[in-house]
Structure 1
């Protein structure tokens, strides 16, 4: 009543199957850590336009509206769907305004434009000690901080929670009514 010997062909088939599974796992890990490894999105401010000024007499104050268009370049193989969020804009540390950003999806390996308008109350800027000197030079320096919460979809079936933190230094040239910006972003999974 002993155990029967396992046929040699079955042993070879079992070993070949194990080797194939190990190779498949190795290939998947290599792909994940090279091609599918999350990369930082590149965020650039395409334009900041002056939409208009509003003067209020009672009480006296001035505000202006800026139109912002920001392009997000997603180098990843997965799309990113984010929720409604807000960009907080400061002028040399003084809160200047908030910009609402509606939920949307940034496609995999694609570019996506995000547009919004912000209303800046000049009273907040004038109270800043740097305002007079900056206005005299014609350049107002703002900082925008935004956090996008959402889900990254990789290979159409794997969904990961992700957060993108974005910080932009925006220089608005008052005389020429244009701007330039430098943005940095970081993705956390």
Structure 2
């Protein structure tokens, strides 16, 4: 009779331990093991080496000096190969730059300096560039996709990607970038 009470107590402790382990594993898998793609953004953007002409054949050339930010919210690092960021005016590419391969550590943001040379001589067809230069604001958009792998505990590797789509305006009067909005 005394042995039955000890066995029941032992089984109760084992059952409680198993339930506790299931709760811990479930919480771990719902938080740590949930892998998301990185957030890719321009941190800051500045205009340098600026020149614009608003005559018969309007043109604009400048360098955008940016801090390209890759925010990794995962508990493992995000490793990505070389990629490209492209700047558009009226849907046409007017500049691009390479984003060097890198690694964003777990739950951190990696910032990389990127210089994008922009020249509207590459535009084809009719555009409103002359009107935009005369108004003093030239609207631009940018796009980039970073494809890479998130690695958790050197065991789990998942392919993930981050996309960036930004809009901005170049203010010709003060030669600055304004209204930077990224998604």
Q: TM-score band (shorter)?
A: 0.7 to 0.9
CA deviation profile, 1:141-169 (whole Å, cap 9, x unmatched): 22111111111133564332211111111
Gaps of at least 5 residues in structure 2 are: 52-58
Change (3 A) 1:15 1:79: same
- Normalising to structure 1: TM-score of the pair? 0.72
- Answer whether contact 1:46 1:71 (CA < 8 A) is retained: no
In structure 2, distance between residues paired with 1:106 and 1:51: 31
TM-score, normalised by the number of residues in structure 2: 0.74
How many equivalent residue pairs?
172
Q: Give the whole-Å Cα distance in 1 for the aligned partners of 2:44 and 2:125.
A: 29
Tell me how far apart the structure 2 counterparts of residues 128 and 10 of structure 1 sit (CA, whole Å): 87
> Structure 1 residues 27, 145: closer, same or farther in 2, change over 3 A?
same
**Pairwise CA RMSD:** 3.1
Q: Deviations over 1:128-187 (max 9, x none)?
A: 522122212222222111111111133564332211111111222222222132111xxx
Range 37-46 or range 175-184, more displaced: 37-46
Structure 1: state its 5+ residue gaps.
1-6, 54-60, 185-189
Change (3 A) 1:108 1:74: same
Residue 72 (structure 1) aligned to one of 62, 70, 81: 70
- The residue that corresponds to 2:107 in the other structure is 109
